[in-house]
């Protein structure tokens, strides 16, 4: 399956070696190019799954074990014929025919496999890359070859799926993705290696306004609401935490209660944002929690229009959150 030139790029893989997942760079304009392939952008949680002869292990993109959240996926990976690998993919849950980060929330924060199964939330793993196989480092091998190896080495039936792609016609695929309500597309240079950083060899363009924001505070609840009124969120611009606005919708009663309790342990006296925030009843917290927020657009003064809370992102360090 590998050419002689590709074989020359192979290196020995050190079992247990951590690999920082390759990340895509956001861009505004979709494009078409015969040297690129285009994958659906899934609205889930990025994971690496590794195995070295024993039981598979699952890691979040910031190197936290997440096996307990997705035990049926661990079981499915353990049943595969190959027993030494490191694969890259996305765990998702569905609302209808669309992947939904909000639907996945009940799985992300569980403490045990038993609790995960008891949620009743069905999860799936879409595999799209393979940095290592059988003790061999594949990161210098072209992406298209790595994807062929993923497709050939695993048996795909729920909850495991191969993340397919289209060639060349990125603009057409992007229009179809937006019409179907997908989050967007990821464009990947077909001959790219696997880089352990954010790279312009992978690019992402979104159909909807959605990204991570840092929680820097919250307001008091009003009327019959409990917990808190709205989250005060921002993003990093160099060393500065810029204020992006307040988020008052997207919460159920349990989220209001649980998130308020979590923020209680992070309260501080000083505002963490680099500008004055004139919200009444504001309470400040250390900027450690990261939330996924949907919104319609940015206003001229750099604030979010119609923002809606989707869930917390424990897999994203706060200092990595920037305006996309």
- The DSSP bridge pattern shows strands 198-206 and 23-26 to be parallel
Whether the CA torsion 145, 148, 150, 154 is positive or negative: it is negative
Q: Which strand (E) or helix (H) includes residue 261?
A: helix 253-264
Q: Looking at 41, 147, 204, 246, which residue is catalytic? A: 41
Instruction: Single out the residue of 47, 43, 62 nearest to residue 210, CA to CA.
Output: 43
Between CA 210 and CA 152 the distance in angstroms is 34
41 is catalytic: yes
Q: Which two tokens mark 198?
A: 């954010």
Q: Which two tokens mark 150?
A: 């993923």
Query: In 3-state terms, what secondary structure has residue 17?
Result: coil
Q: Which strand (E) or helix (H) includes residue 115?
A: helix 113-118
Between CA 213 and CA 323 the distance in angstroms is 8
Between CA 157 and CA 76 the distance in angstroms is 9
Cβ distance 40 to 166 under 8 Å?
Answer: no
Cβ distance 141 to 175 under 8 Å?
Answer: no
Rg over alpha carbons for the chain, rounded to the nearest Å, is: 21
Query: In 3-state terms, what secondary structure has residue 37?
Result: strand
3-state secondary structure 283-319: EEECCCCEEEEEECEECCCCCEECCEEEEECCCCCHH
Contacts of 18 (CB under 8 A, 6+ apart): 59, 63
Among all residues, which ones are annotated catalytic? 41
């Amino acid at each position: 399956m590998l050419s002689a030139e590709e074989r020359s790029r192979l290196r020995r893989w050190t079992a247990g070696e951590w690999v920082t997942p390759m990340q895509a760079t956001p861009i505004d304009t979709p494009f078409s190019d015969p040297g690129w392939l285009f994958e659906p952008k899934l609205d889930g949680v990025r994971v690496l799954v590794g195995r070295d002869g024993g039981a598979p292990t699952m890691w979040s993109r910031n190197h936290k074990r997440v096996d307990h959240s997705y035990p049926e996926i661990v079981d499915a990976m353990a049943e595969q014929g190959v027993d030494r690998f490191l694969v890259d993919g996305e765990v998702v849950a569905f609302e209808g025919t669309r992947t939904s980060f909000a639907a996945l929330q009940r799985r992300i924060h569980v403490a045990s496999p038993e609790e995960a199964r008891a949620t009743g939330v069905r999860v799936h793993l879409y595999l799209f890359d393979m940095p290592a196989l059988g003790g061999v480092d594949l990161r210098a091998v072209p992406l298209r070859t790595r994807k062929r190896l993923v497709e050939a080495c695993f048996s795909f039936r729920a909850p495991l799926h191969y993340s397919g792609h289209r060639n060349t016609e990125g603009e057409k695929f992007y229009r179809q993705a937006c019409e179907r309500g997908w989050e967007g597309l990821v464009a990947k240079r077909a001959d790219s290696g696997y880089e352990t950083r954010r790279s312009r060899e992978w690019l992402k363009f979104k159909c909807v306004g959605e990204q991570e924001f840092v929680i820097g505070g919250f307001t008091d609840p009003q009327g019959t609401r409990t917990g808190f009124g709205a989250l005060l969120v921002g993003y990093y611009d160099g060393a500065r935490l810029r204020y992006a606005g307040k988020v008052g919708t997207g919460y159920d009663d349990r989220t209001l209660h649980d998130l308020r309790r979590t923020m209680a342990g992070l309260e501080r006296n000083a505002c963490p944002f680099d500008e004055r925030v004139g919200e009444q009843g504001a309470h400040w917290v250390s900027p450690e929690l990261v939330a996924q927020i949907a919104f319609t657009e940015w206003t001229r003064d750099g604030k979010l229009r119609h923002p809606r809370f989707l869930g917390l992102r424990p897999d994203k360090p706060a200092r990595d959150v920037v305006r996309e």
